[in-house]
Chain A
């Protein structure tokens, strides 16, 4: 599954619970990322497994098994 297909699966309601959306990079050099909550600036996991919008001093949330499996299938390093 490509990231594009993962994004479409989530749009179709076929993604795992807790993944709000899968977004493309805004500009060249950024990564695909999966948001775990709705809204602008919500916490997201990049394709390389790093976190985006993680508040300072906060521990990253633990991904569920189904979230990990879905994202790994789409090329995420989680």
Chain B
């Protein structure tokens, strides 16, 4: 994980312009939002000399530091959840866009929330790529799970703290339920000619409809 302190001022400037620098807004009661940490690729102009993998690692490294800041900002008596989420980009040449996904509520709302999200272990090539990025650093230990149910044919990766920082914080594992009918192979992520993340050739193709043998 790349955590270049030189870039942090730039990232905080982006968050300020996007009205995301006030951390108290992520701790309102009964809140449920997912907001991108930047909204234009041109925001990352200061990284233009870097390759997409380096940009992705840098952006994700900052996003996880930001997540730690958000979670540390306030402890909740009722349930609270915060995570960085990343949707798979349309084109592999596009940098990833981390989102802050945050939720708060009482026990009744927590039950509904847990039913609304179906997270499962990482199996897609894109998910594996993000997991590699997250695991390669010196950050506190994070959990990484996948959502393949919210949108057909789109994968969203959730990254949050593996351990509860306080009792009412919902760890990612509490939202983990196997998605019915989804079968994926476990192989090394690669990129195909159209720029999509794919499973390694010869071993299978990730698909919403299941495993397709070659």
Contact = CB atoms under 8 A, between A and B. Distances in A.
Contact of B150 (A8, A10, A20, A26): A26
Given A4-B154, A38-B17, A40-B20, A10 B39 contact: yes
A41 interface: yes
Contact of B35 (A4, A27, A40): A40
A11 B18 CA distance: 13
Contacts of A64: none
A69 to B, nearest CB: 21
Contacts of B34: 23-24, 26
Given A5-B90, A25-B150, A13 B40 contact: yes
B33 A40 contact: yes
A8 B36 contact: no
Contacts of B129: none
Contact of B101 (A4, A5, A21, A26): A26
A12 interface: yes
A40 B34 CA distance: 8
Interface string B76-100: 0000000000010111001001000
Given A5-B90, A11-B41, A26 B33 contact: yes
Interface string B17-60: 11110000110000011111001111000000000000000000
B160 to A, nearest CB: 15
A29 B149 CA distance: 10
Contacts of A29: 116
Nearest to B94: A8
Interface in A2-55: 4-5, 8, 10-13, 20-21, 23-29, 38-42
A44 to B, nearest CB: 11
B5 interface: no
Contacts of A28: 116, 118, 149-150
Interface of B: 17-20, 25-26, 32-36, 39-42, 87, 89-91, 94, 97, 101, 116-118, 149-151, 154, 156
